[in-house]
């Protein structure tokens, strides 16, 4: 009788253990299948939000260069430029006139481009109207993240044949580790090592370049659709 009770208890304990083991392996299988799917879904949503913010920064930087001739190397000055900057509206038109040519001793037609100033408009009204999102452009737009994009700008020397010329460049970037801070570390490590035509390659999301003349990002077109 005594041994029978012990055997029953051992049998129940074994059944509980096997059920627990079964649940454990089921959870492992589920996570191995659904984990990457959920990771990719979260990744794509967050990347789209970050890329939309980077495109806003690009719009502001291009305007800054159009007006000042260079890109801004910090967000405070870029936001101030949006608040206070002015676009000059111009119209270019072809024109011509006769000018006496001393070589040929006749009046010759000269072609010129005339630039007329039509007026002025604020950068903020032109680019953003009533949208105040630009004031937060330095912030990485992910819930739970208290971080800013890294921004740089400079003027580099490029060579064209025998001629060197100065070219303004800029770069804005954020680490994937920041954007996906709360995701599976193994999947994040794989994502940082991504090399794919339809992925964001490398460990960072980057707009522009400090070594090449570019205002493009390192993301594919699938991330260009805005996400609310």
- Give the angle subtended at the CA of 156 by the CAs of 85 and 81, to the nearest 5°: 10
Q: What's residue 41's pLDDT?
A: 94
Percent of the chain scored above 90 by pLDDT?
52
Q: What's residue 86's pLDDT?
A: 83
Q: Evaluate if residue 158 carries a pLDDT over 60.
A: yes
Q: Evaluate if residue 21 carries a pLDDT over 80.
A: no
Q: What's residue 104's pLDDT?
A: 72
pLDDT in tens, 38-79: 999 999 999 999 999 999 999 999 999 999 999 999 999 999
Q: What's residue 3's pLDDT?
A: 61
Q: What's residue 213's pLDDT?
A: 92
Average pLDDT score over the chain: 84
What is the number of other CB atoms lying within 10 angstroms of the CB of residue 180?
Answer: 21
pLDDT in tens, 126-144: 888 888 889 999 999 999 9
d(CA 228, CA 217): 20
In the chain, helix, strand, coil percent, each to 5?
45, 30, 25
């Amino acid at each position: 009788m005594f041994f029978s009770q012990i055997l029953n208890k051992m049998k129940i304990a074994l059944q509980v253990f096997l059920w627990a083991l079964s649940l454990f392996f089921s959870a492992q299988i589920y996570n191995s299948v659904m984990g990457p799917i959920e990771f990719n879904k979260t990744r794509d949503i967050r990347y789209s939000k970050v890329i939309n913010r980077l495109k806003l920064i690009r719009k502001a930087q291009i305007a800054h260069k159009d007006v000042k001739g260079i890109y801004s190397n910090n967000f405070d000055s870029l936001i101030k430029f949006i608040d206070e900057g002015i676009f000059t509206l111009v119209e270019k038109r072809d024109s011509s006139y006769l000018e006496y040519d001393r070589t040929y001793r006749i009046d010759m037609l000269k072609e010129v481009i005339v630039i007329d100033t039509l007026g002025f408009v604020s950068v903020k009204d032109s680019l953003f109207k009533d949208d105040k999102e630009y004031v937060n452009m330095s912030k990485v737009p992910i819930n739970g993240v208290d971080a800013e994009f890294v921004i740089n700008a400079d003027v580099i020397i490029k060579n064209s044949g025998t001629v060197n010329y100065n070219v303004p460049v800029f770069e804005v970037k954020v680490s994937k580790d920041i954007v996906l801070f709360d995701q599976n570390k193994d999947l994040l490590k794989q994502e940082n090592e991504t090399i794919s035509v339809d992925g964001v390659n490398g460990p960072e999301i980057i707009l522009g370049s400090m070594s090449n003349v570019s205002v493009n990002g390192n993301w594919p077109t699938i991330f260009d659709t805005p996400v609310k």
